[in-house]
């Protein structure tokens, strides 16, 4: 039959054509069929079309495709569709395609879908989409993905979405993603997420983010995350955040961090903390800091800690302080130290105490310093001890005082010396005292 003959084919005649008859037509003849005749073809006969024949179909023919015909299209026919042809198929007809048929559509043809067409796909069809097809979805198509569809996309396909497509997902679609899907996201995809999308994440989703995804969280996006969600991020994910992202955390967010999250912070991340963030640090967070973390804090950050946070630091953490850091502590912070903390101070910390700082410490705390720690006090610090502080020293502490320290002691300090303390003084210590000091005992 010629193209002219086929162009005049009636509906009754078209309806009588079988699959083998259609398969025998040239592509030119198929394209010559009028739309009324094409709409009359049975779904069974259409299944006989080759990919090349489907490619020759006009947009007019595809626009009159019936839902029954669409449901009969198979993988062979779907593979022949171009992006222009795909864009011509009605949303209702697209929804009639089987999952296998959808999966057979060429990746470049998927780019022809409108957001309305994408929204019409059922979850089975979306689940059947290949990674190559997902890769070709643009911002317009991604914007059409519904919440039900978002949860149906395979993790492998989701990982192929472009940054622009990822950023176009609705907040409802983002909130519908499963933990398995989120773990499949690349750092680039996470980095493309908008603040609105990040804010839409649930606590369960935040908990599923891994180190790879955390690397992609930018400072703006992280700052938009709800405190409850931030507190659910794993320790490994927390340790993967960039220093810039860490700096973007608000004081409320920092105060929501868990012990394991704080402990997971690297030295670089801790160094990046701002004074405002440190000032907002709560007791839960400060009590979780390690000696290594405390040791890298700048003096500005250290003095920004509130007294409650200082009192919550572990003795082990305090042992990480350098003499320079100790010298920067305020008198209020030193007064806030507990006796257990004082007992944990070592030589490095004691050697940093100034006279003013030493005098500000509570007598009970001074009495808990180790003898070796007492020996490390500068002469200025030893000389600044009040009578009450000096009187709180144990026999072991007094016996540990160096000759230089003994010489620096005042008559007032020695006048308060108790019998047990005096009994612990050695010959060399006594020999180093001035006559006035000896007389003051």
DSSP-assigned states of every residue in 269-328: HHHH--HHHHHT--HHHHTT--HHHHHT--HHHHHTS-HHHHHHS-HHHHTT--HHHHHH
Given pLDDT bands bounded at 50, 70 and 90, which one contains residue 110? Answer: very high
Asked whether residue 411 is assigned to any structural domain, the reply reads: yes
Q: What is the pLDDT of residue 26?
A: 85
Q: Answer whether residue 156 is part of any domain.
A: no
The residue among 59, 14, 75 whose CA lies nearest residue 40 is 14
| Mean pLDDT computed over every residue of the chain | 91
pLDDT tens, residue by residue, 203-260: 999 999 999 999 898 888 888 899 999 999 999 999 999 999 999 999 899 999 999 9
Range of the domain at 14: 1-112
What is the structure's pLDDT at 5? 63
Q: Is the pLDDT of residue 416 over 80?
A: no
Q: 62, 81, 112 — which closes off a domain?
A: 112
Q: Which residue is listed with tokens 């490390």?
A: 376
pLDDT above 90: percentage of residues in the chain? 73
Considering the domain boundaries, does residue 309 fall inside one? no
- 324-336 burial code (b ≥16 CB/10 A, e <16): ebbebbbeebbeb
Domain end among 54, 80, 112: 112
> What is the pLDDT, as a whole number, of residue 413?
84
> According to the model, what pLDDT value does residue 94 have?
93
Residue 33 lies in a domain: yes
- Residue 7 has a pLDDT of 61
Average pLDDT over residues 353-370: 94
Q: Is 408 among the domain residues?
A: yes
CA distance 285 to 360: 26
pLDDT surpassing 60 at residue 1: no
Cβ neighbours, 10 Å, residue 190: 22
pLDDT digits (tens, 9 = 90+) for 165-199: 999 999 999 999 999 999 999 999 999 999 999 99
Please state, for a pLDDT cut of 70, what percent of the chain lies above it: 98
- Please report which confidence band the pLDDT of residue 2 belongs to, taking 50, 70 and 90 as the band edges: low
Residues 6+ apart with CB under 8 A from 168: 139, 140, 142, 143
In the prediction, which pLDDT does 146 show?
96
Please write the tens of the pLDDT for every residue from 256-276.
999 999 999 999 999 999 999
Domain assignment present for residue 364? The answer is yes
Domain final residue pick, 79, 112, 145:
112
Task: Average the pLDDT over 425-440 and give the result.
Answer: 84
Domain-embedded: residue 201: no
Would you tell me how many other CB atoms lie within 10 Å of the CB of residue 170? 18
Residue 132 structure tokens: 């190559």
Question: Over 70: is that where the pLDDT of 373 sits?
Answer: yes
Report the domain count for the chain.
Answer: 2
pTM (2 decimals)? 0.75
């Amino acid at each position: 039959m010629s193209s002219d003959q086929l162009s005049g084919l009636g509906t009754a005649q078209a309806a009588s054509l079988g699959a083998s008859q259609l398969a025998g037509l040239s592509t030119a003849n198929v394209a010559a069929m009028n739309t009324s005749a094409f709409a009359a073809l049975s779904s069974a006969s259409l299944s006989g079309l080759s990919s090349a024949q489907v490619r020759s179909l006009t947009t007019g023919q595809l626009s009159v495709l019936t839902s029954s015909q669409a449901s009969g299209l198979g993988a062979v026919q779907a593979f022949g569709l171009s992006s222009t042809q795909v864009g011509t198929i009605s949303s209702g007809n697209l929804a009639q395609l089987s999952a296998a048929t959808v999966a057979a559509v060429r990746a470049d043809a998927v780019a022809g879908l409108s957001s309305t067409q994408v929204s019409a796909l059922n979850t089975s069809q979306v689940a059947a989409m290949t990674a190559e097809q997902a890769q070709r979805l643009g911002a317009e198509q991604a914007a059409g993905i519904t919440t039900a569809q978002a949860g149906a996309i395979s993790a492998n396909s989701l990982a192929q979405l472009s940054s622009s497509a990822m950023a176009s997902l609705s907040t409802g679609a983002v909130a519908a993603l499963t933990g398995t899907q989120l773990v499949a996201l690349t750092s680039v995809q996470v980095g493309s997420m908008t603040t609105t999308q990040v804010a839409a994440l649930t606590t369960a989703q935040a908990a599923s983010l891994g180190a790879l995804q955390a690397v992609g969280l930018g400072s703006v996006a992280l700052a938009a995350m709800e405190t409850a969600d931030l507190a659910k991020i794993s320790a490994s994910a927390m340790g993967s955040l960039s220093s810039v992202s860490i700096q973007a955390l608000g004081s409320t967010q920092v105060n929501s961090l868990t012990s394991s999250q704080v402990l997971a912070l690297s030295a670089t991340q801790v160094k990046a903390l701002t004074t405002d963030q440190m000032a907002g640090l709560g007791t839960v967070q400060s009590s979780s800091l390690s000696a290594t973390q405390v040791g890298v804090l700048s003096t500005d950050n250290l003095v920004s800690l509130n007294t409650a946070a200082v009192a919550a630091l572990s003795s082990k953490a305090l042992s990480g302080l350098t003499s320079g850091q100790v010298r920067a502590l305020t008198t209020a912070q030193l007064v806030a130290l507990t006796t257990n903390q004082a007992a944990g101070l070592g030589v490095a910390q004691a050697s940093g105490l100034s006279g003013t700082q030493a005098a500000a410490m509570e007598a009970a705390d001074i009495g808990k310093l180790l003898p070796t720690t007492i020996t490390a006090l500068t002469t200025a610090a030893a000389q600044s001890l009040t009578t009450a502080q000096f009187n709180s020293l144990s026999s072991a502490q007094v016996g540990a005082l160096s000759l230089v320290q003994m010489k620096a002691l005042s008559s007032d300090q020695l006048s308060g010396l108790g019998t047990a303390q005096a009994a612990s003084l050695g010959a060399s210590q006594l020999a180093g005292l001035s006559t006035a000091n000896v007389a003051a005992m």
